[in-house]
Amino acid sequence: MKYADVDRPSTWRPYKNGLCQGCSGSCCTMPVEIRLSDLIRLGVVTEDEAAGSVKKVAKRLTREGIITSYRQGTELFMLTQKANRDCLYLDSKTRLCTVYEKRPDTCRQFPAIGPRPGFCPGK
């Protein structure tokens, strides 16, 4: 399994259409910052809950193992990664996203945004 190595730009290649086909999900091994709207779309936070205390939401999601942290200044949550660095929502056998239709904006916009815009850490 190849993991994304942000510190080694030489391991990344320019993105082009079709590159994701047959990939093992290397980009899904990077930390993922998400917003409250992503958590609502994923169904782990309700609209009513989001209208209340975001700190309380963050505490609950941390307890449940969905996020590892919340930064109030940027309003970004850090999605939990599995012990092997895979995204919480990456299927370990198929290497496909289990929430693809509801995936966070960060994932939807990759590789246009990310540590190396326009580049892919895949094979």
Domain residue ranges in the chain: 9-109
Of residues 67 and 5, more confidence is placed in 67
Give all strands (DSSP E) within the chain, no chain letters.
13-14, 33-34, 67-71, 76-79, 119-120
Is the whole model's pTM more than 0.85, yes or no?
Answer: yes
Tokens matching residue 123: 């094979």
**Which of residues 119 and 42 earns the better pLDDT score?**
42
**Each residue's pLDDT tens digit, 53-90:** 999 999 999 999 999 999 999 999 999 999 999 999 99
pLDDT(19) > 80: no
CA distance linking residue 108 with residue 101, whole number of Å:
9
